Amino acid sequence: MATIGETSETHHVPAHVLRHWEDVGLLHPSRNRAGHRVYGTEDDSRIRLIQCAKAAGMSLEQIRVMLTGDPTDRVRMLRGHAERLERRAAEIAASRRMVAHAVECPARDCPDCAAPHTSFGFPPARTPSPAVPPPLNGDSAPEPAQARRLRFNA
């Protein structure tokens, strides 16, 4: 059995968070004779499960349903969460493809890259920008990447 301070330190969770998890019904620590919380191995396992669920992006309400809810509600919630994780995984995979391409791309500037942005798995981000304004003071026309930087920095 461990005190709230020891449990907090062991799991790297502030004591006020452990108290909150108890308040919302996720934890049920025992009490000693003085009325102080004491945490056992079951509580340690439950804390680790809560931490894993939070790392998976679950809300405390979803975690409550997972731990204490009706089996039908639990399965429905977990399936919905799994679908959201699949969508997020696809977004991350597209991001990784884009970054990997940017590292190896022969274009000097990312805006000059010939690869269509949709080839990474993202939808088109925006419509084409307006035409480059004419050069000022008779200077030669700027290169396309320079023109884009000028528009964004204006």
pLDDT, tens only, 20-44: 999 999 999 999 999 999 999 999 9
Structural Rg of the chain based on CA atoms: 27
Domain-located, residue 74: yes
Task: Name every residue whose Cβ is closer than 8 Å to that of residue 24 and which is 6 or more positions away in sequence.
Answer: 60, 64
Residues 36 and 84 reside in one and the same domain: no
Residues 20 and 55 reside in one and the same domain: yes
pTM for this entry: 0.65
Residues 48 and 84 reside in one and the same domain: no
Residues 25 and 52 reside in one and the same domain: yes
For residues 94 and 120, is the Cβ–Cβ distance under 8 A?
Answer: yes
How far apart CA 9 and CA 76 sit, in angstroms, is 34
Residue of 101, 93, 129 lying closest to 117 (CA atoms): 101
Residues 49 and 8 reside in one and the same domain: yes
Long-range own/partner contacts, residues 18-24 (CB < 8 A, 24 or more apart): 18/47, 21/47, 21/50, 21/60, 24/60, 24/64
Residues 26 and 83 reside in one and the same domain: no
List the beta strands (DSSP E) in the chain.
Answer: 2-3, 30-31, 37-39
Domains in the chain: how many in total?
Answer: 2
Domain-located, residue 85: yes
How many CB atoms sit inside 10 A of residue 152's CB?
Answer: 9
Residues 23 and 2 reside in one and the same domain: yes
Domain-located, residue 144: no
Instruction: Identify the pLDDT of residue 111.
Output: 77
Instruction: Identify the pLDDT of residue 76.
Output: 94
Residue of 35, 25, 50, 49 lying closest to 4 (CA atoms): 35
Coil, strand or helix: which one is 31?
strand
Write the DSSP assignment of 93-114 as a string of letters. HHHHHHHHHHHH--SSSGGG--
Domain-located, residue 136: no
For the chain, 154 residues long, give each residue's pLDDT as a single digit of tens.
999 999 999 999 999 999 999 999 999 999 999 999 999 999 999 999 999 999 999 999 999 999 988 999 999 999 999 999 998 998 899 889 888 888 888 877 777 777 766 677 765 555 555 555 555 555 555 555 554 444 444 4
Residue type present at position 146: Q
Residues 21 and 52 reside in one and the same domain: yes
Residues 60 and 44 reside in one and the same domain: yes
CATH number at residue 57: 1.10.1660.10
Instruction: Identify the pLDDT of residue 152.
Output: 47
Domain-located, residue 140: no
Residues 12 and 60 reside in one and the same domain: yes
Instruction: Identify the pLDDT of residue 31.
Output: 95
Residues 61 and 16 reside in one and the same domain: yes
Q: The domain containing residue 47 runs over which residues?
A: 1-66
